[in-house]
Amino acid sequence: MAADFNALNAKLLDGYIKRQQAKLRGQTETIAERMKRDTAALMALPAVAFDACHKISTRVSPLSLVRYRSNDYSVPTQYGHREVLVKVYVDRIDICLGTDIIARHVRSYSREEFIYNPLHYLALLEQKPRALDQAAPLQGWVLPEVFDRLRRLLEIRMERRGRKEYIQVLRLLENFNPAQVEQAIKQALGFGTISFDAIKHLILCAIERRPAKLDLTLHPYLPRASVKSTEPRSYLSLLAKTNKKVTEAYYD
């Protein structure tokens, strides 16, 4: 028994190396010595390695799914209704359009399963943000707690627009790894700059190793804003000024 394919391959390689040292009955040479002589008589291997997979051509469904042996695998929504090539390996499934791999999944040996990648549906959800909580491809998608905190703050501050802004942040996972996005969200929360643009800016600054322009401590020459609480009496002075301007305009 082996825990996974890597462990199985390592076990087979170890057995293969040990077997090479054996001598079969009636032979004076080891298997390794005989194989070396046989290999010299073989033809050269092809320049391109053999692609050990089952290949089928099919069409992406309207739900951005590709079916293989009763299981459905997702592809990005922009490829709906397109003709694709499915390459099925022992451990994975690659879905290709031309020479490009547009989706890759761990192969399932169960039946009647839906294997989703939530990132494949974010572009569509950005246009329909109200479906965020009901979308089947996102059910069971576990993200760090900081993502939920960001969403709550965005929706409190921006209401309906906040949900769309949150989906835009999720779409950063299409191009950056989860650790980068998570760290940028934490920084944005610390700076109090909660927005898609700020989080993307922080990610790029981390990659390019330059200071973020959102941290005002790096700009001590800028005057600090002072925001005072509002008092009712302040409106009386505004009202007096307004009445004065009205009077002057009347007599002019």
Q: What is the DSSP string of 128-145?
A: -GGGTTT-GGGTT----H
SS3 (DSSP) at 104: strand
Taking the whole predicted model, whether its pTM rises above 0.85 is answered as no
Q: Give the pair of three-digit tokens for residue 12.
A: 């087979």
Give residue-wise pLDDT tens across range 86-128.
999 999 999 999 999 999 999 999 999 999 999 999 999 999 9
Measured distance CA(170)–CA(134) in Å, rounded: 16
Mean pLDDT of 196-223: 79
Max CA distance (Å), the chain? 127
The bridge status of strand 71-74 relative to strand 114-115 is parallel
Average pLDDT over residues 169-198: 93
Report the amino acid identity of residue 138: L
Grouping H, G, I as helix, E, B as strand and the rest as coil, residue 65 is strand
Reading the block at residue 157, the tokens are: 């501050």
Residue 103 near residue 76 (C-beta atoms within 8 A): yes
